[in-house]
Amino acid sequence: MGGVRVLEQVNLTLPRGDFLAVLGPNGGGKSTLLRLILGLLRPGGGQLRVLGAAPGQAGGRIGFLPQFTEVSANFPITVLGAVLMGLVRPGISWPRGRAARRREREAAMTALFRVGLAEHAERRLSDLSGGQRQRVFIARAIVSGPELLLLDEPTASVDGRSRQEFMALLAELNRDMTIVMVSHDMSTVDGCVKSIACVNRTLHHHDDSRLTPLIFAEATGADLVAGCPVELLAHGAVPHRVVLDHDNPDCCGGRHAHGPKAASAGSQEPEKGGRAS
């Protein structure tokens, strides 16, 4: 809408089954990328395909976990009721018959069982802890059986111990679905994440997750505009070998092994494919 250009020269293809962590500073365009994939924003140019369709057309094939802060804590709803919302269909949802409601209930219970909260189905959502609530929202996101799960800062409001359990849950879900997780929290990158995208106006995709020095990038607020934040840091105190594959040819003057993908592929905006690898 004639505004600021948030993202440019973004080229990203995601294989099925990937677990991508999207990292970067505030205002760098992480959430914009997510909204583009969801079809809530339209790109100014370029091509974008999500699960082989135009963004916004995938419906329940995409599961989405918005930022925790969007949800009012006092809302009068049970755990089961919150999960059932994940089965809402696009457009006007006319009232459903009894059989349809029973089927939806069963699907919701299955999703709750999967996140380990089946016994809390009838409790008020506000009675649950922050970590439990996040798992309810995961259940809401997966109740429609999605192929792609999009998470916006899922661990921001979860304390350390619950965070580990939460990440273990995501790793388990990753067996069935592709996951894209926007995060501030570098500690989530450990373990289950399979690849990393650094977003700060442009996007750098790393096909590896051994990037613990990134913690410093956030902490120090390093000038990330000049190049890939990972590289800037990795060239600092940490041995460079933590970065295995890299897609920015200008980054290290060709001294290190870089991936074949160049950022100058011509696309102005994010490209997101659901093609099976």
Partner 1 sequence: MMEALAYDFFRNALYAGLLASLICGVIGSLVVVNRIVFLAGGVAHASYGGVGLAFFLGLPVLPVTAGFSTLAALCMAWVTLFSRERADTVIGVLWAAGMALGIILLDLTPGYNSDLMSYLFGSILAVPDSDLWLMAGLSAAVLVLVALFSRGLLVMSFDVEFARSRGVPVRFLHFLLMGMTALCVVMVIRVVGLILVMALLTIPPFMAERRARSLPGMMLLAGCLSAVFCVAGLYLSYALDLTCGATIIAVACVGFVISLAVPQRRRPIAPAGAGPQGGEPVAAQIEGRVGA
Instruction: Point out which residues bind partner 1 (CB under 8 A).
Output: 38-40, 56, 59-60, 62, 64, 66-67, 70-72, 74-78, 81-82, 85, 88-95, 116-117, 123-124, 127-132, 140, 159, 161-162, 165
Least gap, CB of 242 to partner 1 (angstroms): 31
Asked if 262 and 254 touch (Cβ cutoff 8 Å), the reply is no
Which H or E run contains 202?
Answer: strand 202-206
204/187 Cα distance (integer angstroms): 19
List, in sequence order, the alpha helices (H) in the chain: 30-38, 79-84, 98-114, 130-142, 160-173, 214-220, 229-234
DSSP letter for each residue of 27-74 = TSSHHHHHHHHHTSS--SSS---BTTB-TT--GGGEEEE--GGGS-TT
CB atoms within 10 A of CB 13: 14
Least gap, CB of 15 to partner 1 (angstroms): 23
What residues contact 171, with CB distance under 8 A and at least 6 apart?
19, 191, 192
Of 11 and 132, the one with the shorter C-beta distance to partner 1 is 132
Of 88 and 265, the one with the shorter C-beta distance to partner 1 is 88
242: helix, strand or coil:
helix
Least gap, CB of 181 to partner 1 (angstroms): 15
63/161 Cα distance (integer angstroms): 25
Which single residue is written with the structure tokens 């339209």? 42
Of 165 and 250, the one with the shorter C-beta distance to partner 1 is 165
Least gap, CB of 40 to partner 1 (angstroms): 6
Least gap, CB of 178 to partner 1 (angstroms): 16
Least gap, CB of 255 to partner 1 (angstroms): 43
116: helix, strand or coil:
coil
Least gap, CB of 138 to partner 1 (angstroms): 12
Asked if 81 and 113 touch (Cβ cutoff 8 Å), the reply is no
Of 70 and 223, the one with the shorter C-beta distance to partner 1 is 70
